[in-house]
Structure formats: structure tokens, C-alpha cells
Amino acid sequence: MDSTAKLLLSTLLFASQVLSQTYKVTGSIPIGGTGGWDYLYAGAAGRRLYVSHGTEVVVVDLDSEKVVGTIGGMQGIHGIAIAEALGKGFISDGRSNELVAFDLKSLAVKQKIATGQNPDGLVYDPFSKRVFTFNGRSQDATAVDAETGTVAGTIALGGKPEFPASDGKGSIYANIEDKNEIVRIDPRTLVVQARWSIAPCESPSGLAIDAKSRRLFAVCDGGKMAVVNADSGKVVATPAIGEGPDAAAFDPGSKLVFSSNGQDGTLTVIKEAGPDSYAVVQTVKTQRGARTMALDTETHRVYLATATFGAAPAATAANPHPRPSIEPGSFKVLVVGQVKTN
């Protein structure tokens, strides 16, 4: 088959895939209560969804979509990471500057480990069997042995880190929000191996990885996603996304990339149309505030946390840009699923 025929076949296959895949909000999981939220984590193997909610993590069964437990006693939760093989989960408690370890079966807190200041993004790296907290205020990362809870070391990052991703093969990547960079870290030696500019992408937050194709997906302000070669650091594409993103996800089964955009209440769905060519195939209307998400790679559903907002309080000198109030009892998780169109 010549190159022209191959290109035509690839285009036809891509078109048929796009036409057969449509996402929409199919339901919601009421959680209620008060307080804000940050990241979610979907553990496909354990069939559980972990949702940060103020001072506790709410645990939802992915199959029944019912709340099955909570993990409390914290001050301000950001991230959740799961080590299924070890039977343990981890939570970054930003206000207490701690990494919290819990048992996956009982949900009991087993250990609290001191980290850098304001641990935010969190990742478990199966290659090194370490958990890494990315600490916004101290601009570093804390490496913790997942089995023992022993701190293995601290990595200076030279800027404010946001979300990390592991390739499971000896590299961890993290967005550096105030430098418009991605850093690559060796999880064993705890050395920053590379520092890459991802211009024109600014203020990167959420990060996802296609470990097989060696591509990183960083969502940024200004309606852009940076697709980055995970080996060279080269920005290979900048597809358009919505405003106010804070999370990215990659589905290895469907080869789709997602950006959750809280400011305009949308979920951008992107597919690789060819070598380093990425096209937006759908913009799903979600809800204002739905800026973080988790992907269930088994069912291909996307879960987004949000609530109903009221009016913002009056600005003060101490808080010149106050956030809108959250209506009590309105916190929920939106479920976005696939529906067939042909």
C-alpha cells in the first residue's frame, strides 16, 4: 500500500471512530456536605473512586456509584494516590504538611508523614515503589517509601509544582506552573534530569501521560494543551481546550485525551488524528466549577467534581479576589459516559 492510500485509510478510520464515540453527562453522584474540593482518583482495579472534599476523602463504588465510606481527620486535602499491590492509599494534606497513608480495605489511617510545605499534586511510582508529594509553597517534592513510610529525600524544583505523572519505567514528570515548564525526575536518584519549556503553554496545571507513545499532555491557561515528547521535551502539538482547566487524563483503550475546564464548564475530548496531530472531537457541556476529574479506564467514564455556586463575598484587602460561595449540600460528582451515535 502506498503512502497516499495509507493516509486515506487512516483518515477514514479516524472519521469512523469519531462518529461512533460521543460523550455526554449521563448522571451524577450526590455527596452533599460543605467545603471545597480538589483532585479525584479512579482505581480501576479496586473499582473505587476517591474524591477529595475539604477535610475528608469520600469513597465511591464505581459500579454502584454509591458512597461506601470516608477517610477523615485531615485539614485540607488535595491529591490521592493508590498502590493496589501494596493495599495502601495515600492523601496529600496541604494544610498540615503531611502525607497520609491509609488501608484500602478498612479505609483506616495508618500513618502520617511530614512533607514539604503545602503538599498538593501526588503520584505513586510503581517503578521505585515510592510516593511523591509535590509541595507548592516550598517548591519541592518529597519522596516517601510506600511500604515503610520512610522519607527517602527531598527534590528542589525551582518553581511551584502542580500535577505529576509517572511513566512507570523510571521517570516522573511534573508541571512547574510559574515557570511554564515540565521537569523530569529520576525516582530512584531523586535528581531532576531535565527541565523543558512548554511555551506557548502558560501556567500548566493538570498533566497526563501516554506511556506507550511517550507523550505528555499538559493543560494550560489561555485555552491550550501542550502535547510534549516525553523523551526530548519537544512540544509537538497545542490543541485548543476550554478555559480554567485543572486536570488532564489519557485513556489508553480509546486513545482519547481529556481536559476538564472549570471556568466554562466543559470537558474537551481530543484524539490523535495522526503522528503528533491531535484534533478536538467533542466539547461536552458539564457544569461550572468542574475543573478536576478522574477517568475509569475500564468503563471509559469520566468523573468530575463540582457544586452549585452562590454569590462571591465582598472583596477585602486581605482577599481581593474572593471565590463564590458554595451552596450547602450541593457538592456532587458528574458522570460523563459514552453513547453510540451510529
Answer yes or no: is 234 within a domain: yes
> Is 19 inside a domain boundary?
no
Query: 117-145 pLDDT, tens per residue?
Result: 999 999 999 999 999 999 999 999 999 99
CA distance 245 to 204: 9
Q: Domain end: 147, 167, 197, which one?
A: 197
Q: What is the pLDDT of residues 250-302, one digit of tens each?
A: 999 999 999 999 999 999 999 988 889 999 999 999 999 999 999 999 999 99
The answer to whether the CB of 53 falls within 8 A of the CB of 38 is no
- Residue 17: its pLDDT value, please? 52
Do 219 and 174 share a structural domain? no
Asked if residues 208 and 250 have their Cβ atoms less than 8 Å apart, the reply is yes
190 and 289 fall within a common domain: no
Q: Are residues 310 and 340 in the same domain?
A: yes
Q: Is position 58 within any domain? A: no
User: How confident is the model at residue 3, as a pLDDT?
Assistant: 45
- Residue 265 forms part of a structural domain: yes
Same-domain check for residues 275 and 292: yes
Tell whether 258 and 327 lie within a shared domain. yes
- Other beta carbons within 10 Å of 322: 13
Q: Is residue 123 in a domain?
A: yes
Same domain, 210 and 341: yes
Portion of the chain with pLDDT greater than 90, in percent: 85
Domain identity same for 246 and 155: no
158 shares its domain with 216: no
Q: Are residues 77 and 150 in the same domain?
A: yes
Half-sphere exposure of 214 (CA within 13 A, CB side): 11
Question: Which residue range(s) make up the domain with 269?
Answer: 24-36+204-342
pLDDT at residue 318 in the model? 80
- Write down which residue in 182, 197, 212 finishes a domain: 197
pTM here is 0.92
Q: How many domains does the chain have?
A: 2
Which parts of the chain have pLDDT scores under 70?
1-21, 342
